[in-house]
Structure 1
Amino acid sequence: MKVAHIRYSPGEFMAVKDAADRAGCTVSGFLRLLSLEGAGVDPFLSEVDGAIFRLLSDDISTMSSDLNSVARAINAGRRPNVGDVARLVMDAQAAVITVAAELAAMLKRQAARRRGEAM
């Protein structure tokens, strides 16, 4: 096994230590996880997580375009269909809730995986 040495100012080290504590890791373990992820050796997002977020991103992009169309119509003095606007708002709310739920689930899976626990 190889050892890497890193120099930090006292303030930088405290910031790293605080982040490691919040992640439930030692400083050494935290830095190892970050460096392996950054090098692409152990990516944070699994293939499934990536696929989920790509699908969500596509949905959000479509909603964004639709909401921009409504905003342009309003700015041009046209009155959009209230039912369409309500549907767009409900879709946007559902997307935000889904993203939050997926992030929470992903973080839980990743933390368990990093600790070697089965999920």
Structure 2
Amino acid sequence: MPPTCLQKTKRERTAINIDIKKEICEYMLANTGPGKPIMELDIDRSTITKIWQSREKWLTTLSNSNIFRYHSVQFPELDKALQIWMSQAVSAGLPLTDAILQQKGLELAQMLNISED
């Protein structure tokens, strides 16, 4: 008779937002090793380890419960300038299209001495 295999049940994939990742890092800083509160989140230990390894990124990002992934910006000054211009354009009631944003981005990049390379 062949031995019976214990079949692992697969966990359902769930997205972990930035706030939870930040809480995990703060908990790990305050306590040594994962404890009961982290285990109650039903997050795999390997996932917690990956979050902990990139703790610098999660501890420095702004909290926003709607964001699940963090993508760094290549030119933060340009991004900030475009955000300011865009908020002014929206408040003035100007129409915004992809082409307008691209053109304004190129103009702001020239003003900030950022090359297209």
With structure 1 as the length reference, what TM-score do the two structures score? Answer: 0.33
With structure 2 as the length reference, what TM-score do the two structures score? Answer: 0.34
| Higher RCO structure, 1 or 2 (CA under 8 Å, sep 6+) | 2
Higher helix share: 1
